[in-house]
Amino acid sequence: MEAAYRIETERTVLRCWEPKDAPLLSAAVESSLDHLRGWMPWAAGEPKSLDERAEFLRAMRAAFDRDEEYVYGIFNRDESAVIGGTGLHRRDDGNCLEIGYWVHVDWIGRGLATEISMALTNAAFELHKVDWVEIRCDPSNARSAAIPHKLGYSLDATLRRRRTTPQGQPEGTMIWSLFADEFPQSPAAAVKISAFDALGRELV
Ligand SMILES: CC(C)(COP(=O)(O)OP(=O)(O)OC[C@H]1O[C@@H](n2cnc3c(N)ncnc32)[C@H](O)[C@@H]1OP(=O)(O)O)[C@@H](O)C(=O)NCCC(=O)NCCS
């Protein structure tokens, strides 16, 4: 298995974070805080100082290099701006990876999370050879749930009261999945990704 350190999509570059991305990531998070707070539990610990951000990115980078999980920055094509964060996260219930995502508030509503999730679904099956890919989201997060639905994932279950919202309300979790034998016929397989290893060699 070869981890993709860089994936190019039509409008974005997904790449392994580097500590020096801290200022661009801080700018993106800070301008999107209101939009993130309802949905991303980590937003409660924001804003972070630049040093804390760099430490966080060092930890993400280390986990990536150790093949523990693959957290990517989402950049515009010339990499002058961070337009979100995404990742392939391991789950301990089988040979699967879970996709997570958030998009900078100024970039939402343009199909970018769909484009990115399509690319990571491809990477999970073609490079990591997983048996299935999962996407989890709150039942009330209609924008997020629209993404696995569009990509051909099935809703396996909605678990009740799995977390508490920042407003103190119990909230459930939807579990969407796509299996390896379903992938070739799914809308998620409609693109071919350009993925590159740590040496910059093309993978797929
Ligand atoms: C969820 C999120 C990643 C979506 O990013 P995005 O780039 O805007 O997503 P896309 O444009 O690819 O797709 C969003 C879909 O939701 C739909 N949508 C938008 N607003 C909606 C609403 N109020 N109700 C239902 N669907 C809605 C859009 O129409 C679009 O579907 P379409 O392409 O079929 O029209 C972004 O809103 C975000 O960062 N939210 C905060 C963090 C978050 O919730 N992360 C996910 C945690 S599971």
CATH superfamily of the domain spanning 6-195: Gcn5-related N-acetyltransferase (GNAT) (3.40.630.30)
**Minimum-distance ligand 1 atom for the alpha carbon of 144:** 1
8 A C-beta contact, residue 57 and residue 65: no
pLDDT tens, 163-196? 888 788 899 999 999 999 999 999 999 998 899 9
**Minimum-distance ligand 1 atom for the alpha carbon of 103:** 39
Mutate to test the pocket of ligand 1, among 33, 76, 143, 153 (most ligand atoms within 8 A of CB): 143
* Sole residue written with tokens 């995502």: 101
196 vs 14: CA distance, rounded Å: 10
**Whose Cα sits closest to atom 24 in ligand 1?**
142
For the chain, domain boundaries: 6-195
pLDDT at 167: 81
pLDDT at 204: 67
How high is the mean pLDDT of the chain?
96
The token pair that represents 179 in the structure block = 């299996």
**Whose Cα sits closest to atom 14 in ligand 1?**
143
Lining ligand 1 with CB less than 6 A are 35-36, 39-40, 101-103, 108-114, 137, 141-144, 146-147, 150
**Secondary structure (3-state) at 170:** strand
pLDDT at 164: 87
C-beta neighbour count of 86 within 10 angstroms: 23
**Secondary structure (3-state) at 75:** strand
pLDDT tens, 20-58? 999 999 999 999 999 999 899 999 999 999 999 999 999
**Residue 120: pLDDT over 90:** yes
Ligand 1 centroid vs 113 CA: distance in angstroms?
A: 7
125 vs 177: CA distance, rounded Å: 13
Instruction: Return the closest-CA partner of residue 25 out of 38, 10, 39, 15.
Output: 15
**Secondary structure (3-state) at 178:** strand
**Secondary structure (3-state) at 195:** strand
Task: Report the percentage of the chain scoring pLDDT > 70.
Answer: 99
pLDDT tens, 54-87? 999 999 999 999 999 999 999 999 999 999 999 9
Ligand 1 centroid vs 200 CA: distance in angstroms?
A: 31
Residue 159 φ/ψ region, left for φ over 0, alpha for ψ in the -120 to 50 degree band, beta for the rest: beta
* Mean of pLDDT values over 113-136: 97
Global pTM reads 0.96
Ligand 1 centroid vs 162 CA: distance in angstroms?
A: 21
* Sole residue written with tokens 């970039």: 107
The token pair that represents 94 in the structure block = 């089988």
